[in-house]
Structure 1
Amino acid sequence: MSLADQVLAVNDDLPIRTNKPVHSGKVRSVYWLSEEDSRRLISENDYDVPADTPLAIMVISDRISAFDCIWTGEGGMKGVPGKGAALNAISNHWFNLFKEQGLADSHILDIPHPFVWIVQKAVPVKIEAICRQYITGSMWRAYEKGEREFCGINLPDGLAKDSKLPELLQTPSTKGILEGIPGVPAVDDVNITRKNIEDNYQAFNFKSIDDIALYEKLLTEGFDVIAAALASIDQIFVDTKFEFGYVKDKQGNDKLIYMDEVGTPDSSRIWDGEQYRSGKVVENSKEGFRQMLLKHFPDPDILLNKDRMEERTALARDNDLPVEVLMQLSKTYTDIAEKITGEKIVLSDNPKAEIIAILKEQYQLID
């Protein structure tokens, strides 16, 4: 079996019973179950949700996205071996830790396979909830050019690249394109201030103005739990992006939960502690891959400049990366997952066949 066969690159073609179109994102695909199947699974598995909650099967892939493009490798490598399993394992680990420590719930109800979650439908808050403990990446690039205000927060002069910030900062941005919000341009990923959110909380899908403080509390608590756990294995939690949404509890009340993934190498920067103390930044996250791409191509502005999206898409489409680049990235993902979870990431010979067998035999979701 070739390495390319062990990669789950296409995850929107599984024969899961659904009466809605499959929603495929950069990495995950979502299959909405019928009302009948949702009710049956809730009853059979005693999920802690109202009986009429819509459920979905969420299948991760091994695709690798960076700079809003999907990248492939030579020899038919359409993704990174072990990446999907590593991401899910890390998210599952943090969500379990959140539960143990009394934080909010997540949208995950069940984990049939390392690549698969059964999730409840959530109404997303339209905010990329970003938290930063160190100044690096886009914040450093802007700071270096003289910017001192980020999301309504003023930073002092004299900060050094990759240094720890005076305090943990929340620097939210928009999730998707939001029209008609005063002072917020209608483009994706725009930095916003707390005042923007307060003045337009309903446009960001908050149920009440008080929930803004709740989301900030959950963001800080989640960050702190992960940062402490990573510190215990000498890894630094640099920055991260969380997402939140609303679900109904069994009594039909709205509750704010964590959704999507948390604390993964895709949504966060994680640095090696020992290397950092000796003056080197060693990325145990996708950021290392992004930096490699910036060095790999002669004109890095294509990757950084949103006005050159067409050229960027062509760059990703027309350039298969060396297999060793993807294998190095595979090692980054699986190593950090094994460090965090304490368990081995096992590469499946045929993830798609395994998923189909489990969903057919144990969940009766495949005809």
Structure 2
Amino acid sequence: MSLADKVLAVNDDLPIRTEQPVHSGKVRSVYWLTEADSARLIKEKGYDVAADAPLAIMVISDRISAFDCIWKGENGLNGVPGKGAALNAISNHWFKLFREQGLADSHILDIPHPLVWIVQKAKPVMIEAICRQYITGSMWRSYVKGERDFCGIQLPEGLTKDQKLPELLITPSTKGILEGIPGVPAVDDVNITRQNIVDNYQAFNFKNLDDIDRYEVLLQQGFDVIAKALGDLDQVFVDTKFEFGYVTDAAGNEKLIYMDEVGTPDSSRIWDGAQYRDGVVVENSKEGFRQLLLNHFPDPDILLNKDRMVERAALATDNELPESVLMAVSKTYVDIAEKITGEPLNLSDNPKAEIIEILSKDYGLIN
């Protein structure tokens, strides 16, 4: 069996019973179950959700995206071995810790397979909740150019690259294109201030003003839980993105939950602690892959300049990266997942066949 066979690159073609189009994102595909299957599983499995809640099967792939493109390797390697399993294992670990420590629930109801979640439908808060403990990346690039106002927060003079910030900064941006909000351009992923959110909280899908405080508390607490656990492993939690949504439980209570993924190498920067103390940044996250791409291509501006998206897309389509590059990324993801969870990551020889068998035998969801 070749290495390429172990990679789940295409995840939107499984024979899972659904009456809706499969929604495929950069990394995950979502299959909304029929009303009958949702109701049956809620009853059979005793999920703590409303009896008529819509459920979905979420299948993570091993695809790797960076700079808004999907990248591939030579020898038919259309993803990174172990990446999907690593991301799910890390998210599951943090969601479990959040629940145990009384923070909030997540959208995940069940984990049939390392690459699969059964999730409940949540009404998403339309905010990418980004928080930063260190100044690096895009924030540093803007700071060097003289910018001091970040999402309504003033940064002091004299900061140096990669240094720890005086406090955790919450720098939210829009999730998707939101129209008709004063002072907020109708483009995806645009920075917003806390005041923007307060003034237009319903447009961001908050139920009430108090929930803005609640989301900030959950964000701060979630960050602290992960930062402490990573600190115990001598890893530095640099910055991350959280997403939130609303669900209704079996008793009819509406609650704010964590959703999407948390504390993963895809959604966060994680640095090696010992190296950082020596003044060297070693990335244990996708940031290392981004840097590698910037160094790999002769004109890195294509990757950084949004006006050159056509050239960028062609770069990703026309270039097969060396297998060694994707295997180095694989090692980063698998190593950090095993470090965080304290357990070996078991990689499947044929993930698609395994998923179909489990969803058929234990859940009755395969046509």
Q: Secondary structure at the match of 2:186?
A: coil
TM-superposed CA distance for 1:150, in Å, is 0.0
Q: Deviations over 1:161-211 (max 9, x none)?
A: 000001000000011111111111111111100000011111111111111
Q: Secondary structure at the match of 2:309?
A: helix
Task: Specify the code of the residue in structure 2 equivalent to 1:89.
Answer: A
Please report the TM-score for the alignment, with normalisation by the length of structure 2.
Answer: 0.99
Task: Specify the code of the residue in structure 2 equivalent to 1:281.
Answer: V
Aligned equivalents of 1:347, 1:110: Cα separation in 2: 19
Determine whether 1:147 maps to 2:143: no
Q: Which stretch shows the higher mean deviation, 9-18 or 173-182?
A: 173-182
Task: Specify the code of the residue in structure 2 equivalent to 1:11.
Answer: N
Match in the other structure for 2:337: 337
Task: Specify the code of the residue in structure 1 equivalent to 2:264.
Answer: T
Q: Deviations over 1:104-145 (max 9, x none)?
A: 000000000000000000011000000100000000000000
Match in the other structure for 1:353: 353
TM-superposed CA distance for 1:253, in Å, is 2.7
Match in the other structure for 1:23: 23
Q: Which stretch shows the higher mean deviation, 290-299 or 6-15?
A: 290-299
Query: Share of identical aligned residues, percent?
Result: 81
Aligned equivalents of 2:347, 2:254: Cα separation in 1: 39
Q: Which stretch shows the higher mean deviation, 252-261 or 163-172?
A: 252-261
Match in the other structure for 1:200: 200
Aligned equivalents of 1:249, 1:216: Cα separation in 2: 22
Match in the other structure for 1:296: 296
Q: Which stretch shows the higher mean deviation, 81-90 or 301-310?
A: 301-310
Match in the other structure for 2:108: 108
Determine whether 1:316 maps to 2:301: no
TM-superposed CA distance for 1:251, in Å, is 2.6
Match in the other structure for 2:212: 212
Match in the other structure for 2:249: 249
Match in the other structure for 2:124: 124
Task: Specify the code of the residue in structure 2 equivalent to 1:12.
Answer: D
Task: Specify the code of the residue in structure 1 equivalent to 2:9.
Answer: A
Match in the other structure for 1:275: 275
Q: Secondary structure at the match of 1:237?
A: strand
Q: How does 1:132-211 map to 2 (within 5 A)?
A: 132-211=132-211
Aligned equivalents of 1:66, 1:184: Cα separation in 2: 26
Q: Deviations over 1:318-367 (max 9, x none)?
A: 11100000000000000000000011112210000000000000000013
Q: Secondary structure at the match of 1:75?
A: coil
Q: Deviations over 1:268-323 (max 9, x none)?
A: 00000000001100000000000111111111111111111111111111111000
* Aligned residue pairs, count: 367
Aligned equivalents of 2:35, 2:224: Cα separation in 1: 38
Aligned equivalents of 2:185, 2:292: Cα separation in 1: 31
Task: Specify the code of the residue in structure 2 equivalent to 1:129.
Answer: A
Match in the other structure for 1:2: 2
- After superposition, the CA RMSD in angstroms is 0.6
Aligned equivalents of 1:160, 1:278: Cα separation in 2: 15
Aligned equivalents of 2:304, 2:196: Cα separation in 1: 26
Determine whether 1:260 maps to 2:248: no
Q: How does 1:86-105 map to 2 (within 5 A)?
A: 86-105=86-105
Deviating above 3 A after TM superposition, structure 1's stretches of 4 or more consecutive aligned residues are none
Aligned equivalents of 1:240, 1:44: Cα separation in 2: 36
Please report the TM-score for the alignment, with normalisation by the length of structure 1.
Answer: 0.99
Task: Specify the code of the residue in structure 2 equivalent to 1:302.
Answer: I
Match in the other structure for 1:226: 226
Give 5+ residue unaligned stretches, structure 2. Answer: none
Match in the other structure for 1:61: 61
Task: Specify the code of the residue in structure 1 equivalent to 2:26.
Answer: K
Aligned equivalents of 1:296, 1:154: Cα separation in 2: 35
Aligned equivalents of 1:107, 1:255: Cα separation in 2: 11
Match in the other structure for 2:364: 364
Match in the other structure for 2:74: 74
Match in the other structure for 1:325: 325
Q: Secondary structure at the match of 1:72?
A: strand
Aligned equivalents of 2:349, 2:253: Cα separation in 1: 43
